[in-house]
Amino acid sequence: MPKGQRKHFYSGDFKLEVIETMEREHLSLSEAARRFRVPDHTIVARWERHYLTEGKQGLYIERRGNPKVARETKMPDETRKDLIAEIQQLRMENEYLKKLNALVLKEEQQNKKHK
């Protein structure tokens, strides 16, 4: 990008309008880019890919900057709660299995002593 030229920021609503217009009017990526004054059709292709893989909400995710930070901060609350619940469940199962293993080992040692 030439020096002094700003990168464009497109809102999720704008991206959705472009994708829905493409679908409704059967426009190619290049035609949609020209009509909506997007400088490169690959930008529209990226929006379409996000739309197809993640749905409408995928167009509203801010993807600039450090991708690790973006993924961590942009995770939906429901997904985060589900993951936390799953982690807690797995930790409880781990603790249970550790205690069970300790009891089995203790019982085996006691059986060896009595023989």
Tens of pLDDT, residue by residue over 29-83, are 999 999 999 999 999 999 999 999 888 888 988 887 766 655 555 678 888 899 9
Question: Do 55 and 89 belong together in one domain?
Answer: no
**Nearest residue to 50 via CA among 101, 105, 10:** 10
Confidence category of residue 6, pLDDT binned at 50, 70, 90: low
Domain count within the chain: 2
If asked whether residues 35 and 16 sit together in one domain, one would say yes
18 neighbors 47 (Cβ within 8 angstroms)? yes
- Residues 79 and 60 grouped into a single domain: no
Residue 22 lies in a domain: yes
Question: Residues 69-106, buried b or exposed e (16+ Cβ, 10 A)?
Answer: eeeeeeeeeeeeeeeeeeeeeeeeeeeeeeeeeeeeee
Q: Is residue 3 part of a domain?
A: no
Taking all residues of the chain, what is their mean pLDDT, rounded to a whole number?
Answer: 86
Q: Are residues 57 and 104 in the same domain?
A: no
pLDDT for 2: 56
Picking from 1, 2, 38, the residue whose alpha carbon sits closest to that of residue 17 is 38
Determine the structural domain holding residue 48 and report its residue range.
9-65
pLDDT of 79: 85
